[in-house]
Chains A and B, each alone.
Chain A
Amino acid sequence: MLVIKDLHASIDGKEILKGINLTVNAGEVHAIMGPNGSGKSSLASVLAGRENYEVTGGEVWLDGKNVLDMKPEERAREGVFLAFQYPVEIPGVSNINFLKTALGEIRQHHGLPPLSAKEFLAMTREKQKLVEFDAKLANRSLNEGFSGGEKKRNEVFQLAMLQPKLSILDETDSGLDIDALRIVSNGVNKLRSKDNAFVLITHYQRLLDYIVPDVVHVLYNGRIVRSGTKELALELEDKGYDWLKEELRVSESIQ
């Protein structure tokens, strides 16, 4: 589904992504871990099309379509969804109208008519339940005055509504208490199917107890330095990243 080849990107002339290679197939869940500042959010931003990153090399393909040629909204309509690490607050834009507009534009892109008010309402109800998202929040301004946990849950609510092919969750688990984590994880597990895929960016192995990944990657200093099974996550939890950094330093100095 997603193929990333030797992706390089920089911001303000500083190279952040230094050759990322990653293939995610439909039906899979990948976890990306790595120390702070290693480029995880940058990778997510570049995939979603954030303007201030300059792609200096490489390719990104989504089901055979060239993602890097698309504007952010086109990527979203093609099925890329980014659950932001820090969702913005937009006072004056009602959560629900925003979703109606977004869903309408995505459906239009696929040649589908807009949902009727009744259908939309029914869908909203169902998805709210899925992530136990308070109906009162759905009717408020987008993220305005939401707690950290409410914002994260709103991201997953939107994910559920828009039904993307590829969902990238950027530290959606950070700052969630154990109940919220369980709710969010259950939501994601229910949304998993053989036709979609998830990339979970996380700091904590804890999330992976709830959503079991097929592959775990370690991103460090702009590169994926190690990939493995979920046991890799456990190992990182035990030993931290220092041993990895040390190993890399040694191997680089040998080269």
Chain B
Amino acid sequence: MTNQVATPLYNKLSAAFESRNAADLTPLREAAFAKFKAKGFPSVKEEDWRFTSLVPYLDVDFSVTAEAAGDAGIQQAVDAAAIEGLEAYRLVVVNGRIHSGLSVLPEPDEMHIGPLQEVINTDAFRAHFEAEDHTGGNSFTQLNTAFFTDGVYIEVPKNVSIEKPVHIIHVNTASVPTLFHPRQVIVVNRSAGAVFLETSVSLHPKQAMFFNNVLQVIVKENGECTHYRIQDNAPGERWVHHTQVTQHRTSRYSNYTFSLPGADLIRNNLELKLDGTATESHLYGLYLAAGNQLTDNHTAIEHIHPACQSTEHYKGVLLDNARAVFNGKVFVQREAQQTNAYQQNNNLLISDKATVYAKPQLEIFADDVKCSHGCTIGQFNNESLFYLQSRGIGEESARKLLVEAFMFDVTDKIEHEPIREHLQELIHQKMTAAMAAGA
């Protein structure tokens, strides 16, 4: 236990781990917990956590065991989570467990959906899972591996392409501050295609909650996966999201991460391993941060083989005392000739008390590549503001219009129109609320 700050939490975690039933204590979990214990939670001494001190976010007497969920309130929460105009399947996950009763799922031959716990020890799963698992190096993922319950396993069979998005609604029912470890694995097999949208909802918002979520996505040869995540969370919530994607040759993966004001802390680790030639990846992010929120996006794209293409565009708007971190790593290994990697990060500071730390980080070891990156931090353009006002548009509406305009080149990339409209509406609402609170 090297990190003194959260000692009571460590003790609680150790006790909880030891008291698990024997069937749960697989070698995988034991090894993971041992690693976690050796290193502890990350501290600001680690480069990747330099600007994000976890101390204030972990300093809560969290429960470390999930309570059993009753059904009260879940139905309404799930209905409210539906996105207007979006025809989608619905996968309801309550405290990390699939809720079949409320889910509306594709046929099993179109998509296998079940508890991860059920398959994790089968040879078939391990044959490709363990080989694809690169989560070992990170304290949070180790902790997740040690503790996740049930989990979600989704597999799209080869050659099956499902147009209709699967909306995964994560419902959290905890009524006391809890440290949670949800886990999901998605496998899109050869020449298969699927679209996922993740949102989450808490039945008891405004209490301290810590989510340590891990998602692994594997897109096999020539497969295609589009993945949206809307982080519209409640105050008090702290989220550490580890999303790890492995792409095989000629596969396509698009990630859209939208972080809105609400949660106290959002830390997203999005790691792409391009494990085959001629893959295509798109990472789009929007972060709108307000209040005392801290939103931290760490992305890493590893180009290993030739002719892979990655584009990344993250845009942030910061209000009030909000802080944001953007760290975009792109590695291009020696073998990865004809890589095409483009990265862009733009930030708009609306308040002079807001802060952003932005760091593009390109490490290129191949010579025949096209890589570019750009990073801007700016404020409102007063000329634009004056122009809008000079046409009769009030200052507040003008500011909102300019924020929406700033985000436009990312929102415009959303292929599913109802999702785009939903997001634009959310941005509008959050801006209005933040400005009203700030005024």
Contact = CB atoms under 8 A, between A and B. Distances in A.
Would you list the 10 A-B pairs with minimal beta carbon distance, nearest first? A92-B405, A92-B408, A76-B392, A72-B389, A102-B391, A106-B392, A73-B389, A93-B405, A102-B392, A77-B392
B388 A98 contact: yes
A225 to B, nearest CB: 28
Interface residues on A, range: 20 to 34
Contacts of B381: 88
Contact of A88 (B384, B392, B404): B384
B397 A101 contact: yes
Interface in A17-66: 48-51
B409 interface: yes
Interface residues on B, range: 20 to 34
A79 B24 CA distance: 74
Given A71-B395, A88-B384, A90-B384, A49 B405 contact: no
B128 to A, nearest CB: 43
A162 B391 contact: yes
Interface in A81-125: 81-82, 84, 87-88, 90-93, 98-99, 101-103, 105-106, 109
A128 interface: no
Interface of A: 48-51, 71-73, 75-77, 81-82, 84, 87-88, 90-93, 98-99, 101-103, 105-106, 109, 141, 158, 162
A98 B408 CA distance: 14
A105 B393 contact: yes
Interface string B349-368: 00000000000000000000
B408 A51 contact: no
Interface of B: 381-384, 386-395, 397-398, 401-402, 404-409
B198 to A, nearest CB: 26
B303 to A, nearest CB: 30
Q: Which among B382, B387, B398, B404 has the greatest number of chain A C-beta atoms within 10 A?
A: B387
A91 B348 CA distance: 14
A215 to B, nearest CB: 25
Contacts of B397: 101, 105
Nearest to B401: A93
19 contacts: A48-B386, A72-B389, A72-B390, A73-B392, A73-B395, A73-B398, A84-B390, A88-B384, A90-B384, A91-B409, A93-B388, A98-B393, A98-B401, A102-B391, A102-B392, A103-B392, A105-B394, A109-B392, A162-B392
Contact of A158 (B383, B391, B406, B408): B391
Contact of A102 (B384, B393, B406): B393
Given A73-B395, A101-B397, A90 B389 contact: no
A105 B392 contact: yes
A138 B416 CA distance: 25
Nearest to A48: B390
Given A92-B405, A92-B409, A84 B387 contact: yes
A84 B383 CA distance: 11
Given A76-B392, A90-B388, A162-B392, 15 more contacts: A48-B386, A51-B382, A71-B389, A73-B394, A75-B390, A88-B381, A90-B384, A91-B409, A92-B405, A92-B409, A93-B402, A98-B401, A99-B391, A101-B397, A105-B393
Given A92-B409, A102-B393, A162-B391, A72 B402 contact: no
A135 to B, nearest CB: 20
A162 B388 CA distance: 13
A88 B390 CA distance: 12
A49 B393 contact: no
A138 to B, nearest CB: 15
A73 B391 CA distance: 6
Nearest to A105: B392
Contacts of B382: 51
Contacts of B405: 90-93, 141
A88 B385 CA distance: 10
A106 B382 CA distance: 21
A76 B390 CA distance: 6
Given A88-B384, A90-B384, A92-B407, A101 B390 contact: no
Given A88-B384, A101-B401, A82 B390 contact: yes
A77 B404 CA distance: 23
Given A73-B392, A77-B392, A87 B387 contact: yes
Nearest to B409: A92
